[in-house]
Structure 1
Amino acid sequence: MIRDLIFSPHLPLSALAILAGIALVLVGFSALRGLRGWPLRAGAAALILIYLAGPSLQQEERDPLSDIVLLLVDESASQDLADRSTQVAEAVAGLTARLNALPNTELRIVPLGDAPDNRGTLLMTALAEAMADEPRGRLAGAIMVSDGQLHDVELASDFPAPLHLLLTGAPTDWDRRLIVENAPSFAILDEEVTLTLKVEDQGAVPASIGNTTPLIVSIDGGDAQEFTIPVGRAIDVPLTLAHGGMNVIQFTLPEAAGELTTRNNAAMVQINGVRDRLRVLLVSGEPHNGERTWRNLLKSDPSVDLVHFTILRPPSKQDGVPVTELSLIAFPTRELFMEKVDDFDLIIFDRYKLRGILPPSYLDNIARYVEDGGAVLFAAGPDFASADSLYRSPLARIIPLAPSGRIYEQGYQPRLTDIGARHPVTEGLGGLRVATDAPEWGRWFRQIDLDPGTETGPDAPEVVMSGVDDRPLLVLDRVGEGRVAVLASDHAWLWTRGIEGGGPQLELLRRLAHWMMKEPELEEEALTATSDGASLTITRRSLSDSDHEVTIEAPDGTTVTVPMEEVSPGRFMAQHQGAEMGLYRLTEGDQEAVMVLGPAAPREFEETIATGAKLAPVIAATKGGVMALSNGLPMIRTVAEGRVAAGRGWIGVTPRAAFVTQSTRLTPLFPGWLWLVILAGLTVWAWLREGRR
């Protein structure tokens, strides 16, 4: 039972202060006048003020509450290094026994592992959540068993009792890690890009470890190259991307003798390879409505550098007219088609015919340019079916289908073929396939007839659009290392004008031009993947409608085969949940790809050497301590609040003496009649003394 003296004033405190002042003045006046009863008057005034203050005795029945100690156990991935897991188990067992031996003390064990989304060890978050579950007034201390490598120290909260850290690991631990300090997200193809790397040694590095180390570099999981680099300082690594699209570059350090882990010896960088500028040569045979369509399309693309000529005057024409008065100058054919033809990514012949301007050797050089990796697009007009057709030149060996000589001058609606519905150039444009009714595109009114030919197989030309009587309208083909396309009509511009509803002319021509320039997103046979957290989304694009299965090789070398589902014509997809972070290799048929799931080295392994430096300011504020388990398990003592709670071989907890009140009783200090008797006695006594009786 606890007794306390409390006051419940009958008047406001301000009124009591005024009355006390008046009483003090009157008693002082009595003392100055020499009245012998002034001490009795002072006693009576004091008793009146005490009575008005309402003194009472409060009696409480209390039940004491036990103290609570939090034990946070770090079970993150870095605690599996060396013998740390054994240290943790032994420490938890020893602390549990010693804390349970303390009187009036309860233990709360809080385990925590790796945070999701590669956020590392959130030790302070776990402490705050544990504090929220317990009354603050009962917390007598907290002990953390960890390597001290946490990733949320900025979230440390105000702990009301001593906080201690018991470090796992050994004083001889050391580790080597690879850091990518700078890497661009994209780079220009065929231009050198520089990455900044650093190899850093941490902990008690043995004297036998040298100041250099091999560095192994591979791109997209291909052939590796080995270099020797210094340790402890940043270096620049120059690279040239091998292809457009995503390039996955892997850097690896070989394992050094005695280091804690190799999980941080690798780094992976994804760099998107882009072309600086796409150089296009547009050669028009004569002005027509579709010529401006090609020009507007190519000029509107900021990534395209366009050179456009309409050849009307042969270079051999000599008529004595001064150059300053010529409205049509001689076309620089030799410079463009012999000397600089390889500088272009795409050449477009728009309704061009043989006019004696380009010698056969020039056209043969263009055919060679395609076979070596260039691209030519033929936008055919009526001349393509005549004796002046480019097919009657050395270019015939790269043109996929021969003109029959017939021209259809009638209305028809272009349609996608079965292959066209799957091909990335025409996929999803909206036109219905041959087997369906009523296509949704406007009509064209001229088509140059092409002989479909008899060639079949994977190397045969691909007819992706058809026109009159299902005759080939848009044909794509690969010749050597290059690409060729034939659009057997010069009426694509009707879609731009919106004739009969028009059609996706700009998108079709844009995709066609970019496919010919080998943009990765328009490859008809491709295997790609994207990652979201621990999930891989794999996409296979193919002209084949057969079943597809992708083989996935995880970073640890294990493989799994996942069936793919066709989600749209020519597009197959699969989902895979990765078990660990790192480089995944994907294989489907003759297609291969690599994808990085998360970082090559998880955040938990960025720094692995045990340290108390990160938590030192937080622990110092609570007067706790940092101790290494390699020196033995400390003893546990109780210390008074505000005292130092750690010393050589011991740590302390602070008893909080918390309680819960069961009942409360309030009684006046004296009954009212006793106050009246005392006051009356003092008053009469003062009157008698002053009356000399």
Structure 2
Amino acid sequence: MIGSGTGSVIFDPLLPWAFVAGLGMALAAFLALALWRGLSGWWLRAMAAAVVLAALANPSFQREEREALSDIVIAVIDESASQKLADRPAQTAAAVEALEAAVARLPNTELRVFRLGDGEGNEGTLLMSRLAEALAEEPRARLAGAVLVTDGQLHDIDRAPSLPAPLHVLLTGREGDWDRRLIVKNAPAFAILGETVTLTLRIEDQGAAPPADRAELNISVDGGEEMTFVVPVGEDLELPLELPHGGINVIRFAVPPAEGELTDRNNAAVVQINGVRDRLRVLLVSGEPHMGERVWRNLLKSDSAVDLVHFTILRPPEKQDGVPVNELSLIAFPTRELFLEKIDEFDLIVFDRYKLRGILPALYLDNVRRYVEAGGAVLVAAGPDFASAASLYRSPLGEAMPGVPTGRVIEQGFRPAITELGRRHPVTSGLEDFAPQGEGGESPAWGRWFRQVEVEPVSGNTVMAGIEGRPLLILDRVGEGRIALMASDHTWLWSRGFEGGGPQLELLRRLAHWMMKEPELEEEALQATAEGATVTIVRRTLGEGAREVTVTAPDGSKVTLTLEEVAPGRLEAVWQAPEMGLYRLTDGELDAVIAVGPAAPREFEATIAEPSALAPLVEATRGGVARLEEGMPDLRQVRAGRAAAGRGWLGITPRGAYVTADVTLLPLVSPWIFLMLAGLLTVGAWLREGRR
């Protein structure tokens, strides 16, 4: 609207102010001279000088026509994740509607609404940053007040802007709200297998929680069966843990939802700990000296993480050469100590061309079988004796063998090949990449071997084949342990580089890791990795055909993804997670968990609505806090500098901002009048002084 005009006197000098000031100083000097000489008309001369200076200053009357501007009230609406709990969305919507109606009733006042979601990544609620952005978009001279509709949980209070008007908070939530939260206070990124690592947890109740001394805590590893414990609430828990396998161990902690709590989004946490083997203890038993014995030894000794115990049987009991035992430089084979007392200390036992000679009694070999069934690992590198009556298969260990010798040893050149199943098995998948392709690209150009023991597979997976497709490498699971049968003793030719050699070191490394149950070498596995919000889901399997994975989001919603085969035995899907939190995956056979960002995002670290973080800023602007559960307060206008909040009301301060629509400038005195006055005063001074 157009307001009434306002006028004021201004000076618009005809000459620069510096010239006017200089002239004034000169006139003052002449007046001083007149006083010194005693001229009686000096005061008339002073008045004439003042009129001249006033004329040069050009006094004018300025009249402005002003257009009044409306006052602005800023409302920042918090729509972050914590504001979606319980009935807070309804409270927020009702508050915005009531605020719009209240501002509409005030004269010459407008409402500007700004909304705020979750910050990027795990930044939380950036309420003050959004308020600062809102202030930057509106003229500060028109700001009559700011209102925050929020639960009071924010994470950038240090970025609070200065406000020229009152700040008010309309607080959502209810006085009786409470929440239970699981906190992982300490968890290492790495741990040594076989050693105990301690994690520190805490179950904490926030708000008006009912009395509770204890709560259930569920723990699962790699999505497996949950273990339930009853633990105290409100105390730090020291949890000793021993990792079950090497590689990444995904450990999930969860507290069952309690009746009445705000959310269960912060009731779970996922910890990923990389299991590292301090040392891999290997027992290598060579039945007799042969060309490949030193190759086995050198391969195992080349890895500084391997503790190797190697025995070669040089003088079997049946050898009768007449040399007294006390004159031999050989040591006795400590069979009892190795195979009865300390067998469980070894991670892997390798039998290299071993045959039955009466050195290891059947009881000891039966103990090796039990060692495998209990979770141990055995690798059998078969030589010609494996096909004889002295075959290790004829011992109690034969019950765990995945292949039966037919009694035939084939001695002719052949190139080991990966079977169709082997192309899908992680132990042999991609081994062709370690050698150039042969003619036609059908098989890798590895060096040839010249001996193979013929075996008939009875269990396990045949991943490598030799002459005429006969099984060459068979892998099998026995009880909790694993066993591998290599039906040839010519692997050493690859290490010697014969005809280009082959990936013996890589094959042995993968075999050892598979036997040690490393997750990356499992035949059937469901894994997921997250980079930002991008989740890559990998399903390894020996089967064929497409697979589907059901993903359960933190809010309970589900989505089904189809995995596509990107390599033999490897299916993948890339998916964008809609929010941070803990996701559960299943394909009906295997389960997995993945945390996108933290399992409990920053938004859910504190969920109880309370204004303590905003209180200093509100008090500094003389604003107020009103709980919406008590009703929407009235909105009224108050003068600047007075309290802007009271019982049941909040105030805004009108700013009286305006824009000048028109300016009229008129001279205050006509120049002719100034000229006439100056002339009359000068003549009057001359006449007075002339008479005297």
Is the shorter-chain TM-score for this pair beyond 0.5, marking a shared fold?
yes
2:437 and 2:445 in contact (8 A); partners too: no
**CA shift in 2, pair 1:578/1:292, >3 Å:** same
Kindly provide the amino acid, as one letter, of the partner of residue 150 in structure 1. L
Which runs of structure 2 are paired with 1:459-608 in the superposition (5 Å)?
A: 460-490=459-489, 492=491, 495=494, 502-531=501-530, 536-552=535-551, 561-575=560-574, 584-596=583-595, 599=598, 601-608=600-607
1:531 and 1:597 in contact (8 A); partners too: yes
Quote the Cα distance in structure 2 between the aligned partners of 1:625 and 1:610. 16
**Cα distance, 1:213 vs structure 2:** 2.5
**Cα distance, 1:444 vs structure 2:** 2.2
Quote the Cα distance in structure 1 between the aligned partners of 2:300 and 2:205. 53
* Secondary structure in 2 matching 1:590: coil
Quote the Cα distance in structure 2 between the aligned partners of 1:370 and 1:352. 17
**Cα distance, 1:614 vs structure 2:** 0.7
Q: Which residue of 2 aligns with 1:339?
A: 341
2:287 and 2:352 in contact (8 A); partners too: yes
Quote the Cα distance in structure 1 between the aligned partners of 2:658 and 2:517. 78
Q: Work out whether 1:102 is the aligned partner of 2:103.
A: no
**CA shift in 2, pair 1:320/1:630, >3 Å:** closer
Kindly provide the amino acid, as one letter, of the partner of residue 188 in structure 2. P
**CA shift in 2, pair 1:302/1:135, >3 Å:** farther
**Cα distance, 1:68 vs structure 2:** 1.2
**Cα distance, 1:215 vs structure 2:** 2.1
Quote the Cα distance in structure 1 between the aligned partners of 2:298 and 2:158. 56
Which runs of structure 2 are paired with 1:68-467 in the superposition (5 Å)?
A: 68-79=72-83, 81=85, 83-115=87-119, 117=121, 119-205=123-209, 209-219=210-220, 220=223, 222-229=225-232, 231-242=233-244, 245-253=248-256, 255=258, 259-263=260-264, 266-272=267-273, 274-277=275-278, 278-284=280-286, 294-295=296-297, 297-299=299-301, 301=303, 303-312=305-314, 318-321=324-327, 326=329, 328-352=330-354, 357-380=359-382, 390-391=392-393, 393-401=395-403, 402=405, 404-410=407-413, 412-430=414-432, 437-438=440-441, 441-453=444-456, 455=458, 460-467=459-466
Kindly provide the amino acid, as one letter, of the partner of residue 142 in structure 1. A
**Cα distance, 1:625 vs structure 2:** 1.9
Quote the Cα distance in structure 1 between the aligned partners of 2:556 and 2:165. 49
* Secondary structure in 2 matching 1:437: helix
**Cα distance, 1:615 vs structure 2:** 0.8
**Cα distance, 1:645 vs structure 2:** 2.4
Kindly provide the amino acid, as one letter, of the partner of residue 446 in structure 1. W
Quote the Cα distance in structure 1 between the aligned partners of 2:158 and 2:283. 59
**CA shift in 2, pair 1:10/1:333, >3 Å:** farther
Which runs of structure 2 are paired with 1:666-685 in the superposition (5 Å)?
A: 674-685=673-684
**Cα distance, 1:542 vs structure 2:** 0.8
Kindly provide the amino acid, as one letter, of the partner of residue 652 in structure 2. V
Quote the Cα distance in structure 1 between the aligned partners of 2:491 and 2:53. 107
Name the TM-score, length of structure 2 as normaliser. 0.84
**CA shift in 2, pair 1:378/1:201, >3 Å:** closer
Kindly provide the amino acid, as one letter, of the partner of residue 426 in structure 1. T
Moved more, 599-608 or 419-428: 599-608
The number of equivalent residue pairs is 678
Kindly provide the amino acid, as one letter, of the partner of residue 543 in structure 1. L
Kindly provide the amino acid, as one letter, of the partner of residue 108 in structure 1. R
* Secondary structure in 2 matching 1:268: strand
2:457 and 2:471 in contact (8 A); partners too: no
**Cα distance, 1:422 vs structure 2:** 0.6
2:172 and 2:627 in contact (8 A); partners too: yes
1:182 and 1:197 in contact (8 A); partners too: yes
1:253 and 1:265 in contact (8 A); partners too: no
2:447 and 2:502 in contact (8 A); partners too: no
Q: Which residue of 1 aligns with 2:611?
A: 612
Quote the Cα distance in structure 2 between the aligned partners of 1:502 and 1:321. 42
**Cα distance, 1:372 vs structure 2:** 2.6
1:148 and 1:611 in contact (8 A); partners too: yes
Moved more, 610-619 or 166-175: 166-175
**Cα distance, 1:479 vs structure 2:** 2.9
2:200 and 2:237 in contact (8 A); partners too: yes
* Secondary structure in 2 matching 1:544: coil
Q: Deviations over 1:299-336 (max 9, x none)?
A: 555654333444546699854459xxx5x544444322
Q: Deviations over 1:621-650 (max 9, x none)?
A: 323222333444333232334443223333
Kindly provide the amino acid, as one letter, of the partner of residue 69 in structure 2. L
Quote the Cα distance in structure 1 between the aligned partners of 2:532 and 2:545. 31
Kindly provide the amino acid, as one letter, of the partner of residue 98 in structure 2. G
**CA shift in 2, pair 1:470/1:6, >3 Å:** farther
**Cα distance, 1:529 vs structure 2:** 2.5
Kindly provide the amino acid, as one letter, of the partner of residue 345 in structure 1. D
Quote the Cα distance in structure 2 between the aligned partners of 1:183 and 1:343. 28
Task: Give the unaligned 5+ runs of structure 2.
Answer: none
* Secondary structure in 2 matching 1:426: coil
Q: Which residue of 1 aligns with 2:659?
A: 660
Task: Give the unaligned 5+ runs of structure 1.
Answer: none
1:221 and 1:594 in contact (8 A); partners too: no
1:168 and 1:610 in contact (8 A); partners too: yes
Q: Deviations over 1:538-593 (max 9, x none)?
A: 32211111333334455676766543322211012245666776655443353333
Moved more, 62-71 or 77-86: 77-86
**Cα distance, 1:345 vs structure 2:** 0.9
Q: Deviations over 1:247-284 (max 9, x none)?
A: 3323315525xx44242561223233625433222344
1:214 and 1:254 in contact (8 A); partners too: no
Name the TM-score, length of structure 1 as normaliser. 0.84
Q: Deviations over 1:411-435 (max 9, x none)?
A: x443321111111012123359999
**CA shift in 2, pair 1:573/1:360, >3 Å:** same
Quote the Cα distance in structure 1 between the aligned partners of 2:630 and 2:689. 83
1:178 and 1:264 in contact (8 A); partners too: no
Kindly provide the amino acid, as one letter, of the partner of residue 164 in structure 1. H
Q: Deviations over 1:21-52 (max 9, x none)?
A: 55545544544554444444444555555555
Q: Which residue of 2 aligns with 1:640?
A: 639
**CA shift in 2, pair 1:114/1:368, >3 Å:** same
Moved more, 48-57 or 157-166: 48-57
Quote the Cα distance in structure 2 between the aligned partners of 1:548 and 1:10. 91
**CA shift in 2, pair 1:5/1:620, >3 Å:** same
**CA shift in 2, pair 1:560/1:621, >3 Å:** closer
* Secondary structure in 2 matching 1:617: helix
**Cα distance, 1:57 vs structure 2:** 5.0
CA RMSD of superposed structures (Å)? 3.9
Quote the Cα distance in structure 1 between the aligned partners of 2:355 and 2:515. 22
2:410 and 2:453 in contact (8 A); partners too: no
